[in-house]
Amino acid sequence: MPSRSRSRLKVKLAFGAVALFAGAQLVRPEVPNPPVIADLAAPPEVKSLLVTACYDCHSNETRLRWFDRLAPAS
């Protein structure tokens, strides 16, 4: 296979990969946030740590950032 056709194939594959990644961004699953029905029963220092480190993803108070919404990781 000549070098020129290999480079064209690589360009086509790269373009296809970029198009697939861009197309995947159009499909966004919804992240529901049901109402909070109870407070966490934990010591204050543990609760503080959990709120700052875990609540953004693992609670009913989810706040996703822009990089959390990129497909396919989302």
**Cα 61–chain centre separation:** 16
Q: Which two three-digit tokens encode residue 52?
A: 């700052």
Q: Which pTM value belongs to this model?
A: 0.54
Task: Evaluate if residue 1 carries a pLDDT over 70.
Answer: no
d(CA 1, CA 9): 11
Q: What is the residue extent of each domain of the chain?
A: 3-69
d(CA 30, CA 56): 15
Q: Residue 62: what pLDDT?
A: 83
Name 24's Cβ contacts closer than 8 Å, sequence gap at least 6.
71, 72
Task: Evaluate if residue 44 carries a pLDDT over 90.
Answer: yes
pLDDT > 70: what percent of the chain? Answer: 96
pLDDT digits (tens, 9 = 90+) for 9-32: 999 999 999 999 999 888 877 777
Q: Residue 45: what pLDDT?
A: 94
* Residue type at 73 in one-letter notation: A
